[in-house]
Amino acid sequence: MERVCFLLKVRADRLDEYAERHAAVWPEMLEALSRTGWANYSLFLRDDGLLVGYFETDDLQAALDGMAATDVNARWQEQMAPFFESLDGRRPDEAFMTLREVFHLD
C-alpha cells in the first residue's frame, strides 16, 4: 500500500467556496474514487490557500489513470480548475506534485 501526499494552491479569494463544494462532492465522483483505488482520502486547506491532499492506494498510477478515464472526473476537474492557481492550462489532477515520504509509523 502506498501513501500519497500532494499539494495544490487554491485562490485566496475562493477558499470558502472551495470548502463548500468539497462538503458536497457528487456521489458519482466519490464512487469513482473508491472504485479506482483512492482510499482514506482527505484534503486539508491552509488559510492562504495551500491545499494538502493525502490518500492511500495499492497502485498510484492505476488510481490516477483510472480516474482520468472517467467522465465524472473530467466534469469535476473542469469545474474545479478555476479555483486553483498556477495550473498552466492543466487540470488540477494533472498538475499535482507528490511529496517524498520520509517517515511512517503504522
Distance CA 75, CA 77 (A): 6
Binding a second copy by CB under 8 A: which of 12, 25, 62, 69? 25
Least distance from C-beta 9 to a second copy, angstroms?
12
Distance CA 93, CA 79 (A): 12
Interior CA angle at 10 toward 2 and 68, to 5°? Answer: 45
Kindly state whether residue 106 participates in binding a second copy, applying the rule CB under 8 A: yes
Number of residues in contact with a second copy under rule CB under 8 A = 32
CA distances 17 to 8, 62, 83, Å, are 16, 30, 9
- Residues recognised as catalytic: 22
Least distance from C-beta 69 to a second copy, angstroms?
19
The distance from CA 97 to its chain's CA centroid, rounded to whole angstroms, is: 11
- Per the structure block, which three cell numbers stand in for 98? 507528490
Determine the interface stretch with a second copy among 15-23, 62-70, 79-87, 88-96 (rule: CB under 8 A): 15-23
Binding a second copy by CB under 8 A: which of 13, 23, 61, 71? 23
Q: Give contact residues for a second copy (rule: CB under 8 A).
A: 3, 5, 7, 18-19, 22-23, 25, 30, 33-34, 38-46, 50, 52, 54, 97, 99-106
